[in-house]
Amino acid sequence: MKFISKPIALVLLFSAGVFTAKGQEISKSFSGIKKINLSTSAGSCTLVKGSSNDVQVKVSFTYSSDDYRPLMEQEGSTLMLKEDFQNRKSYSGNSSWVLTIPENMDVSFSSGSGNFEAKDMSVKVSANSGSGNYTWVSVKGDSKINTGSGNINIVGHQGNLNVNTGSGKINIGSLEGDLLANAGSGKIGLSKLKGACSVNVGSGDIDARDITLTGKGSFNSGSGDASVTLATSPTHNISVNSGSGDALLDFGGNKIEGKVIMTANKKNGKIVAPFSFDKTEELDNDGNDNVRIRKTAQLGAKDIEIKIGTGSGTAEVKK
């Protein structure tokens, strides 16, 4: 979709601008908006819950007006917001967008390095940033977030989340909804989650506490530790695995029921559990010291699988 700059529209846009001690501000109001698309080079975005059905847009910037133009165009019920740098190769300054929006707006955000903040609202978000951070507090709605090297911090969320960072950290607390979380090399910290979980990190740790699974749970670390503490006994399959670190599933005093399957490398790994096993097997004996030990126990009559595995660390179950 192309942004078309018309001379008359541009004059009207800048007529709302004012100069401040920190640069220039431009404000504009739109009605009949259901979706917002904001694309910035390095500009950040803050969402604010509004008291009307109109969308209020305020952009503050310190760039020279010869270099920078914030473009705002309404196309039916979609508001297109974009930064135009007049095709220059280098520029100095910063920008910040504040969007005051009604409940249940659909927002799409993309930025090279901008941050994204939201608080106390219902909103559906699809966001991507090269190195920006995400900070959300008390937000409702299904959302998808991606950042190349930024951190993701979310507290008090209701709705399904799909979050990804290449080398940043993920911290999520008090989530009611399904979670899909991935980090390339950062740490993932989770607490007070209620939903299904699929959590993966390449070379960092997973620390998940007070977890209530309403669906399948999967927690995997390539080379870090994976630790999960449950708030209730699981009624769905759960797996906790690490390639070379420790894998711990702590039932937090809740009853252990289901088919428990634990694996570890025979030479370098270790299996620890507070119960006896029904069966012990050796797997993958290829003559190169890659033998794995698998121990199995059926506890109670619950028809679920509880898997804890490690390559060269300790696989452990705690009551």
Task: List the chain pLDDT tens, one digit each, 319 residues.
Answer: 333 433 333 333 433 555 554 689 999 999 999 999 999 999 999 999 999 999 999 999 999 888 899 999 999 999 999 999 876 666 789 999 999 999 999 999 999 999 999 999 999 999 999 999 999 999 999 999 999 999 999 999 999 999 999 999 999 999 999 999 999 999 999 999 999 999 999 999 999 999 999 999 999 999 999 999 999 999 999 999 999 999 999 999 999 999 999 999 999 999 999 999 999 999 976 566 689 999 999 999 999 999 999 999 999 999 9
| Residue 190 domain flag | yes
Taking the CA atoms of residue 131, residue 134, residue 140 and residue 143 in that order, the dihedral angle to the nearest 10 degrees is 10
Q: One-letter amino acid identity for 284?
A: D
The answer to whether the beta carbons of residues 144 and 127 sit under 8 Å apart is: yes
Q: What 8-state DSSP symbol labels residue 67?
A: T
C-alpha 67/C-alpha 90 separation (Å) is: 9
pLDDT for residue 286: 59
- Determine contact, residues 250/208, Cβ cutoff 8 Å: no
Query: Which residues are 179's β-sheet partners?
Result: 161, 197
Residue 113 lies in a domain: yes
Q: Are 127 and 146 in contact (CB under 8 A)?
A: yes
Q: Which positions ≥6 away from 222 have C-beta within 8 Å?
A: 201, 202, 203, 242, 243, 244
* Same domain as 313, residue 170: yes
Identify whether residues 84 and 219 lie together within a single domain. Answer: no
Q: What is the pLDDT of residue 141?
A: 98
Neighbouring CB atoms inside 10 A of 150's CB total 25
Return the pLDDT at 4: 41
For residues 306 and 259, is the Cβ–Cβ distance under 8 A? yes
What is the pLDDT, as a whole number, of residue 11?
31
Partnered with residue 26 across adjacent β-strands are: 17, 59
Amino acid at 13: L
Is residue 133 within 8 A of residue 146, CB to CB? The reply is no
Q: Which amino acid is at 51?
A: S
Residues 185 and 314 in one domain: yes
Same domain, 30 and 179: no
Co-location of 122 and 160 in the same domain? no
- Domain count of the chain? 2
Q: Is 143 inside a domain boundary?
A: no
Tell me, yes or no, whether 135 lies in a domain.
Answer: no
Distance CA 40, CA 109 (A): 8
Which pair of structure tokens corresponds to residue 122? 């219902």
User: Quick one: which H or E segment has residue 11?
Assistant: helix 7-15
Residues 79 and 157 in one domain: no
- The identity of residue 176, as a single letter, is E
In a domain, 180, yes or no: yes
Are 34 and 161 members of one domain?
Answer: no
Q: Is the pTM of this model over 0.75?
A: yes
Q: Which of 142, 199, 206 is nearest to 176 (CA)?
A: 142
Residue 142 lies in a domain: no
For residues 234 and 313, membership in a common domain is answered with: yes
Mark whether 60 and 93 lie in a shared domain: yes
Of 72, 96, 128, the domain-final residue: 128
Residues 296 and 167 both lie in one domain: yes
Dist CA 172 CA 161 (whole Å): 10
Instruction: Verify that 285 and 193 share a domain, yes or no.
Output: yes
Using CB atoms within 10 Å of the CB of residue 264, give its burial: 0 to 12 exposed, 13 to 18 middle, 19+ buried. buried
Domain co-membership, 166 together with 299? yes
How many helices (H) and strands (E) the chain has is answered by: 1, 27
Q: Is residue 146 part of a domain?
A: no
Where is the domain boundary, 128, 160, 178? 128
Is 77 a member of any domain? yes
* Domain that residue 316 falls in: 151-319
Q: Is residue 139 within 8 Å of residue 116, measured between CB atoms?
A: no
Of the residues 128, 161, 178, which one is the last residue of a structural domain?
Answer: 128
Q: Give me the pLDDT at residue 87, please.
A: 66
